[in-house]
């Protein structure tokens, strides 16, 4: 994945790959655009075969700064420039958005912005809501937005699938300011709806008792060892359970121990902070996907203890 990070800026803490421009305070959009290396635009060019004939109905998306071809799209494709993506997030709360990270992946084919919203309290814990925006210039995906609430005390990502509030959604992107503000209001409403339902879900889970024997049964069901399991599989599954219990007895969730909310936070901690068993070449990409789409293991666990 480090090779996939082309450019980025980040606030305070150095990311895992050590790349990017570090800044002390989260900048506004103009500075973030420049610091993250996203101050370039995309233009569309005709595509020609070797003989010079034009290929109909298709265009090449080309970065103007260096001529890199980012993707081939149909002639109906609408480009969303990087500065437009920043303008959209600025319009969320009147230009007071602050950017924690921003950058490009895959040589500019995908860009992202991570914007911090005002702090909230979830069952007495300070929680920082973030909106993560991604856009592609190669035609592979739409503009997507996801909620990534972080528990401040331990940096656990509370990225849970909820009943009615969406965790991830797409937005339209138009040059018309009135339409842009309308989309921004809808986006902010969905973010607030997610945080409101997360608060209600957390309160319910914090008041749901999960005694140790029930927790043990849940872990056995979550990581089942069967007669057909090999010795290696048994060791790996037991190691997962042991790692979970280490997280469960961490000091930061002491006040929630014995509840479903404490159990969920322990699973979130284990998933967020433990390295995978196999560090495949694309495991960082998979982690990025889980930021946008959530983690299936965490969602399953929540459904089991809720």
- The pLDDT tens digits for 81-110 are 998 888 877 777 665 567 888 888 888 998
For residues 79 and 291, what is the distance between their CA atoms, to the nearest angstrom?
Answer: 24
**What percent of the chain has a predicted confidence (pLDDT) above 90?**
42
The answer, yes or no, to whether residue 15 has pLDDT greater than 50, is: no
Tokens coding 125: 């814990």
pLDDT of residue 2: 41
- Lowest mean pLDDT across 117-131, 229-243, 270-284: 270-284
Q: Which two tokens stand for residue 210?
A: 């999960």
Structure tokens at 242: 């042991």
Whether the CB-CB separation of 91 and 20 falls below 8 Å is answered with: no
Q: For the residues 255-260, what does the mean pLDDT come to?
A: 96
- pLDDT of 243 > 60? The answer is yes
One-character DSSP codes across 222-273: HS---TT--HHHHHHHHHHHHHHHHHHT-GGGGGGTTBHHHHHHHHHHHHHH
Copy the structure tokens of residue 143. Answer: 């503009």
Nearest to 86 by CA among 40, 45, 20: 40
* Residue range 139-153: mean pLDDT, rounded: 84
Report pLDDT for 231: 94
Higher local confidence (pLDDT), 258 or 10: 258
| Comparison of pLDDT for 89 and 296, the residue scoring more | 296
Mean pLDDT of 166-191: 77
- Residue 93: per-residue pLDDT: 63
> What average pLDDT does range 258-287 have in this prediction?
74
Q: What is the pTM of this model?
A: 0.81
pLDDT higher than threshold 70 for residue 290: no
Q: Is 29 exposed, middle or buried (0-12, 13-18, 19+ CB in 10 A)?
A: buried
Whole-angstrom distance, CA of residue 29 vs CA of residue 40: 14
Higher pLDDT, 112 or 238: 238
Gap between the Cα atoms of 290 and 269, Å rounded: 14
pLDDT of residue 170: 84
Mean pLDDT of the chain: 83
Pairwise CA distance, residues 92 & 264, whole Å: 31
Examine the pLDDT at 69 and tell me if it is beyond 90.
Answer: yes
CA gap 260, 206 in Å, rounded: 6
């Amino acid at each position: 994945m480090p090779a996939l990070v082309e450019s980025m800026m980040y606030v305070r803490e150095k990311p895992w790959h050590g790349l990017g421009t570090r800044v002390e305070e989260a900048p506004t959009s103009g500075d973030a655009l420049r610091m993250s290396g996203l101050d370039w635009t995309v233009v569309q060019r005709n595509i020609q075969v070797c003989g010079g004939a034009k290929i109909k109905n298709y265009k090449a998306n080309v970065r103007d700064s260096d001529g890199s071809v980012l993707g081939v799209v149909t002639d109906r494709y609408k480009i969303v420039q990087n500065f437009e993506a920043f303008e959209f997030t600025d319009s969320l709360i009147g230009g007071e958005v602050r950017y924690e990270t921003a950058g490009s992946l895959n040589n500019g084919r995908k860009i992202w912005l991570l914007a911090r919203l005002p702090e909230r309290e979830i069952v007495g814990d300070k929680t920082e809501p973030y909106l993560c925006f991604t856009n592609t210039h190669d035609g592979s995906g739409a503009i997507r937005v996801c909620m990534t609430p972080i528990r401040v005390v331990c940096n656990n990502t509370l990225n849970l699938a909820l009943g009615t509030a969406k965790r991830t959604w797409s937005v339209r992107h138009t040059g018309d300011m009135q339409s842009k503000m309308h989309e921004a209001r809808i986006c902010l409403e969905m973010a607030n709806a997610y945080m409101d339902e997360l608060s209600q879900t957390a309160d319910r889970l914090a008041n749901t008792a999960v005694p140790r024997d029930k927790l043990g049964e849940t872990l056995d069901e979550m990581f089942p060892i069967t007669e057909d399991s090999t010795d290696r599989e048994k060791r790996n599954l037991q190691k997962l359970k042991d790692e979970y219990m280490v997280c469960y007895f961490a000091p930061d969730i002491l006040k929630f121990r014995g509840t479903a909310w404490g159990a969920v936070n322990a699973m979130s901690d284990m998933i967020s902070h433990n390295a995978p068993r196999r560090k495949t070449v694309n495991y960082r990409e998979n982690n990025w996907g889980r930021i946008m789409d959530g983690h299936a293991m965490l969602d399953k666990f929540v459904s089991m203890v809720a």
